[in-house]
Structure formats: structure tokens, C-alpha cells
Structure 1
Amino acid sequence: MAARKEIDGSASVPEFYGKELRFKREQAGLTLEKLVDGSFYGVTYLSEIERGQRRMPMDLAQHVDRVLKTDGFFARRCEDVRKARLTGHAPYFEKVLEAEKRAETIEQWSPTVFPGLLQTGPYMRALFRAEWTQDLPEEVDEKITGRLARARLFDEDHRKPEYSVILHESLLRLRVLPGPEMAEQLDHIGALIRRGRVFAQILPWNAGAHPLMLGNAMVLDFADEPPLVYMEGQHHGHTIDDPALVKQYRRSYDLLRAAALPLEVSLALIEDAAEDYRNGTHPDRLERRHLA
């Protein structure tokens, strides 16, 4: 029998909500099975809410309040939890925010910007300043805090999901930040790779025609639910769960992976670029160096 994992209610609003739900359930002497009995949801779904991994739907919150006699507490607060979970993210990203916590593997292609899971605070701030020019400093800070919280997926006690990413080589030479801060951004990615939390490959700038040239893609696989693909534009995003389409995107990603550089060579490129920024020797154009 798996050890019961404690919930850190101070970590986030969803986890505080989930911890309170577990406390009230156990106080009432109910198992997960007993609490969901009579609802349209399963034990796994409720368990993931208790761990802060899923959003509480209103109909389930109302069911929980009736069974636990909690005077509407969970129904009143479920929208607060939803808003807290979305801090720093667009509403269309909500499904992915939940899904990536349950995923066994995440595979991502990011041709024009470092993915959010790999971004440092200064990198995020630069992107926000370029696009959301009228946001107040405190609004930007709130967005950055919310986005940085996603990277808890890479905490040492979380061995899943396994995250693989393919980056276009031009990202290593696109000066989004001053040299020292760009070096820190690349150092951050390099450290995650060396810790075994990220598997990163670089697609060479002169690779020619390749799959997924028309955009980015994130493929999420799960232990007990169908896979998803997430696509995103500047001001929109959508998930794809149609099995035939997911299969096509999976094939495209696999072909792209085959065109990318090996892991060791990719890490060397990332670390070399960091040193160039650190030493002020960042080139003015892309160069093909250290490639196998």
C-alpha cells in the first residue's frame, strides 16, 4: 500500500483547498469512495482535487457540501481556487495547467521562445514588457509569480512528468535580455538538464525543411487517460484530443526529434552560448559550431 502523502496547504490556494477537503472528509470518517458516491465523479478525480492537481467542478463542490454538511464552503470557494490556479496564465491554458500535473510525459517543440516551464523570471518579464506595455509593475509581478510556480514540476520530490523539449538553435542567439541575464537563463536550462529533470535537443538553425515548421506543439501522455496535444498562438490556444490528430502530431514530433541534435551535443551548445553571453562574446550572427 502506497504511503499517504501529506499535502502542503501553504504551497498554493488549490493545495490549501484540497487539504481542507481531506481534513473535512476524514473528520467525517468518510473514504474517497464514500464521498463521491452519488456524484458523477470517480475516486481518482477527487483524490487529485485533494492534492491540488485538479479544479473542483461546481456540481461536485455542491455534492461535497451536502455530504459533509459544510454549509456551502467548497462551492463558494471553488471559483477562488480556479482564479488562483490561473494566476499569470490565460484562461485558455487552464486545461493544460491541470493536465501537466497528471502527465507521465510531456514533449514540447518551441521554435520561437523558451517554453514557460524553462523560463527564468527576468526572461518572463522581458516578454511581458514587449507585449503587455500597459500592465502595472505589480500586475507583471503577479503574472511572473504564477508562471514560476509551474516549475514546481521539477522539484526533487516530483519524478514525473518526464519532460522533453526541442528548441530551435536561433533561441540560443536571440538576445532577449542583457548578456549576464541571458547567461543565467541558459544556465538554468543547463542545470535542469544535468539534474536529469529535462531532456533537451537543439534543432540546428540550418536544418532545412522539417516537421512542425508552422508552429509549436506540446504532447502530453498519461497513465490512465487519452493523450492530449496543445497548440498556442499569440493570443489563443487550444487542446486536441481527437485520437487520429494526436497520432499525426505524435508522428510529426518523432520526425522532428530525429532531425534534432543528440542530447550531449545540444547541452554543449546551450552551455557554450551561456559562456558567450557571460564573457561578452555573443556573436552577431548564427554560427555552426561544435555540431556533430
Structure 2
Amino acid sequence: MPQPKDLDPYADARSFYGSELRRLREAAGMSQSDLGDKAFCSGTYIGLFEMAERRPQEDMSRIFDELLGSGKHLQRLCRLARKSKVAGYFADAAELEKRARSIEEYAPMLMPGVLQTRAYATALTRGTMRRASDEEVERTVSARMERAQLFSCENGPDFWAIIHEAALRVPIGGLRAMRDQLAHLVETARAHPHAILQVLPFSVGFHPFLNTMSSLMQFVDAPPVVYTEGAYTGQLIEDAALVAQYRSAYDLARAVALSPEASLALITSAAKDYDR
């Protein structure tokens, strides 16, 4: 179980939340396990909040306030601590992504965000945020570009992406942008041995993930989770039975997809098609 550590409560909103949760818990004479038992979660989960390693949750903050008699104190702090550079529905997953030991993504129609080029990401953002200013678009795209640091991090996660062939054929941002995007996929896979790409070809037909973007994340010190995303919404799945179903479906996709080398060959061929 994570042990309490001294935080600078004024370092950021999340650290302030964690230090306040610890202060209130200790004032109530509870251990992390005691509070976890009453809140129907583990003491380890409480520890992650107190160490500022997990973004506070609104529903959990309400439960903590009720159990600790703190009014709406933690709920108000939670709203401050949950501010993020990325879309609110993705923010929790974005934080977990940084702690993951491995990330396995399935992309049905669009490139995984962590593999997108700036031109591709900009075209997507402008298409989905039609009323956004240039500054808002730039902030969104820059936040997405920062995620690519996962590949340059010394202790970055193992990354495996299965991309449906359809994503190679939809010309997001125009022909040049798509050519560069596909070339970027190949370059990333060649440059980073811990990044593996596979293509799920049209010939496979139906698959459980056919219309669902999914990301399976595993950790050294926490249970695995799944993040799924659609247009303007996303969901973090922590239920063990559901995670196991996603695990099984992903393994099936990996089994029927092209090999990594054959996949890179197909991506390279598709890139050349955009030159024609």
C-alpha cells in the first residue's frame, strides 16, 4: 500500500487535495485502509490520491466529505484539481497513460492520438471543434503532441497499436498530410523497438472492436484499466470482468492482424498511394 509522504500542498491543486485528504483522514483517526473500507475501495487507492498520483474523482470526493465530515471541502478542491490541458472525458486516462507499464491501443478509423502528426491532429481538431479559435485549436493540438513524449521517456511504456486498414485510407487533412502521417507511423516503429504496430486488414471482416477506439493500460502497482472513446465522449473502465473481455477481444485482434513487418509494408504502400 502506498505510504503517506510529505507533499508541498502549494505545489499544485492536486497536491493540495492530497494533503487535505490525508489531514482530514488522520484527524478522523483513520488509516488509509479504514477509509478505503468505508468508501468501498482499497487503501492503495486512497494512497494514490494522497500522493497526488491519481486525479481526484468527483463521486469519491463526495463520499470522502460525507465520511470525514468536511462539508463540500474536498468536492470544491476536486474541481480545481481536475483542470486539464486535454478534454475532460480523456483527462483521467491521460494521467494514467503516464504511469502505465504497457499501452495497447486499437484504432478503427483514426490514428491513435499519441501517433498523430501535427498536421493530422490539426485537421482533426478543426473538424471536430468548428467554432474554436486558432488559439484553442493550437492548445488542443499542442497537448496532443506532448503525449508523444511517451516514446522518448527512458522508462516509457511498451506500446502496441492495432490500426484498422480503414484509418490508412481516410484522407484526413489532405493527401500530403496523410502521406506524412503514414510515413510517421513507419518512422516511429523503426526508431522505437518498444513500439509495435499492426494493421487489421479489411479482409478480416467483423471484429468486436470494429467501431470502438480502445486503449488497454497495465501498471506495475495497480489493476489494468481500459479507456474507450467515441465522438465527444470517452469512458474509463475499471471493472475487472469488463477489462477481461476487452483483453480477450484485443488478443483476438492481434492474432488476426498482419504481422508487424507486413503491417509496415502495407502502411508504406498506402503512403505511396497518396503521392499518386
What corresponds to 1:237 in structure 2? Answer: 234
Give the counterpart of 2:98 among 89, 98, 101.
101
Shift of residue 227, structure 1, vs aligned partner: 0.9
What corresponds to 1:181 in structure 2? Answer: 177
Shift of residue 77, structure 1, vs aligned partner: 9.0
How does 1:125-140 map onto structure 2 within 5 Å?
Answer: 125-140=122-137
Runs (4+) of structure 1 exceeding 6 A deviation are 36-44, 56-59
TM-aligned CA distance change 1:93 to 1:196, over 3 Å? same
Query: In the alignment, does 2:211 pair up with 1:208?
Result: no
How does 1:159-198 map onto structure 2 within 5 Å?
Answer: 159-160=156-157, 162-194=158-190, 195-198=192-195
Q: Give the secondary structure class of the aligned counterpart of 1:251.
A: helix
Give the counterpart of 1:45 among 40, 48, 56.
48
Shift of residue 149, structure 1, vs aligned partner: 1.4
Give the counterpart of 1:225 among 218, 222, 226.
222
RMSD: 3.3
TM-superposition CA deviations, 1:61-90 (whole Å, max 9, x none): xxxxxxxxxxxxxxx99866642x3x132x
Give the counterpart of 1:274 among 264, 267, 271.
271
Shift of residue 48, structure 1, vs aligned partner: 6.2
Question: Is this contact kept in 2: 1:88–1:144, CA < 8 A?
Answer: no
Select the structure that is richer in helix: 2
TM-aligned CA distance change 1:243 to 1:80, over 3 Å? closer
Question: C-alpha separation between the residues in 2 aligned to 1:136 and 1:199?
Answer: 36
Shift of residue 250, structure 1, vs aligned partner: 0.7
Question: C-alpha separation between the residues in 2 aligned to 1:55 and 1:276?
Answer: 44
Shift of residue 226, structure 1, vs aligned partner: 1.1
Question: C-alpha separation between the residues in 2 aligned to 1:103 and 1:244?
Answer: 20
TM-aligned CA distance change 1:78 to 1:244, over 3 Å? closer
Q: Give the secondary structure class of the aligned counterpart of 2:185.
A: helix
Question: C-alpha separation between the residues in 1 aligned to 2:234 and 2:248?
Answer: 21
In the superposition, the TM-score normalised over structure 1's length comes to 0.69
TM-superposition CA deviations, 1:208-250 (whole Å, max 9, x none): 2223224222111111211111111212211211111111111
Q: Give the secondary structure class of the aligned counterpart of 2:232.
A: coil
Q: Give the secondary structure class of the aligned counterpart of 1:206.
A: helix
Amino acid at match of 1:218: S
TM-aligned CA distance change 1:134 to 1:155, over 3 Å? same
Q: Which runs of 5+ in 2 are unaligned?
A: 1-10, 36-42, 62-75
TM-aligned CA distance change 1:116 to 1:153, over 3 Å? same
Amino acid at match of 1:256: A
- Identical pairs, percent: 36
Shift of residue 17, structure 1, vs aligned partner: 4.1
Shift of residue 202, structure 1, vs aligned partner: 0.2
Matched positions, count = 236
Shift of residue 119, structure 1, vs aligned partner: 0.9
What corresponds to 1:88 in structure 2? Answer: 86
